[in-house]
Amino acid sequence: MSRIGKQEILIPAGVKVTQNVSSGGNTVTVVGPKGTLSKVFRDDITIVISDKNITLNIKRNDKFSKSLWGTYASHLKNMIAGVVTPYQKKLILEGVGFKSEVKPARAGGGKEFNFALGFSHPVIVKIPEGITATAEKNNITITGIDKELVGSFTAAIRALKKPEPYKGKGMRYEGEVIRRKQGKKTV
């Protein structure tokens, strides 16, 4: 039994949750003051939406359905929380000569990151739709209503130059502690 799946999910004021049942599964749409999110859920879980809360029940009593029960409840909670207050992740870029800036995209609309990470060429990353990003000095802030998109985009940017353990140079999350190693000792 899923402890998370059994709990009722409260719908705050100003948020509207709708469900569209089709052959491919349930499409749940959450509309709030900050935007709109929609996600397709498999039909192994029954989603019941009332005026003030959402309840989830499993159709079959098998391992796969039970594993989806709590996951779907967490997805719905994250969607509701995201349209009320956007999610935000911060990265700190440390290192001599490392720079980051947000520029308009060269091809098409939108914006892109332009990084100088110590390589022989600049690293350019397009910012996806639904995300707003700022780069002030060496502090990068990524904001959006979709928790999954914000987290995966931030992780992809961090993977460009992970922090190294000797001097701590690279990109790290705000509040992340880098375990330092001792360098070579001279005799």
Where residue 68 sits, what CATH number does that domain have?
A: 3.90.930.12
Confidence class for position 158, pLDDT limits 50, 70, 90: very high
Choose among 90, 89, 91, 88: nearest CA to 172: 91
Residue after which a domain boundary falls, among 84, 103, 132: 84
What percentage of residues in the chain have a pLDDT greater than 90?
73
DSSP class per residue in the chain: --HHHHSPEEPPTT-EEEEEEETTEEEEEEEETTEEEEEEE-TTEEEEE-SSEEEEEESS-SHHHHHHHHHHHHHHHHHHHHHHS-EEEEEEEESTT-EEEEEE-SSSSSEEEEEE-SSSS-EEEEPPTTEEEEEETTEEEEEES-HHHHHHHHHHHHTTSPPPTTT--EEEETTPPPPP---PPP-
Assigned domain for 182 exists: no
pTM exceeds 0.95 = no
Provide the number of structural domains found in the chain.
2
Assigned domain for 180 exists: no
Residue after which a domain boundary falls, among 63, 84, 105: 84
The whole-number pLDDT of residue 6 equals 87
- pLDDT over 80 at 2, yes or no: no
Tell me: do 125 and 96 sit in the same domain. Answer: yes
Assigned domain for 178 exists: no
Contacts of 60 (CB under 8 A, 6+ apart): 44
Assigned domain for 183 exists: no
Average pLDDT of every residue of the chain: 91
**Residue holding tokens 């000797």?**
166
Assigned domain for 181 exists: no
- pLDDT over 70 at 144, yes or no: yes
Tell me: do 92 and 79 sit in the same domain. Answer: no
Tell me: do 34 and 91 sit in the same domain. Answer: no
The whole-number pLDDT of residue 24 equals 72
Name the CA dihedral angle for 48, 49, 55, 59, rounded to a multiple of 10 degrees. Answer: 20
The whole-number pLDDT of residue 13 equals 92
Domain region containing 7: 3-84
More confident residue, 173 or 24: 173
Give me the mean pLDDT over the 166-173 stretch: 92
The whole-number pLDDT of residue 147 equals 96
Give me the mean pLDDT over the 151-167 stretch: 95
pLDDT in tens, 67-102: 899 999 999 999 999 999 999 999 999 999 999 999
Give me the mean pLDDT over the 109-116 stretch: 90
Contacts of 66 (CB under 8 A, 6+ apart): 1, 2, 58
Q: How far is CA 11 from the centre of its chain?
A: 21
More confident residue, 187 or 88: 88
φ, ψ for residue 40, nearest 5 deg: -95, 125
Tell me: do 62 and 103 sit in the same domain. Answer: no
Confidence class for position 1, pLDDT limits 50, 70, 90: low
Tell me: do 80 and 93 sit in the same domain. Answer: no
Tell me: do 169 and 93 sit in the same domain. Answer: yes
Tell me: do 18 and 76 sit in the same domain. Answer: yes
The whole-number pLDDT of residue 43 equals 86
Sheet holding 111-116, edge to edge: 99-104, 111-116, 123-126
Confidence class for position 51, pLDDT limits 50, 70, 90: confident
Name the CA dihedral angle for 131, 97, 92, 87, rounded to a multiple of 10 degrees. Answer: 0
Tell me: do 56 and 23 sit in the same domain. Answer: yes
Residue after which a domain boundary falls, among 43, 60, 84: 84
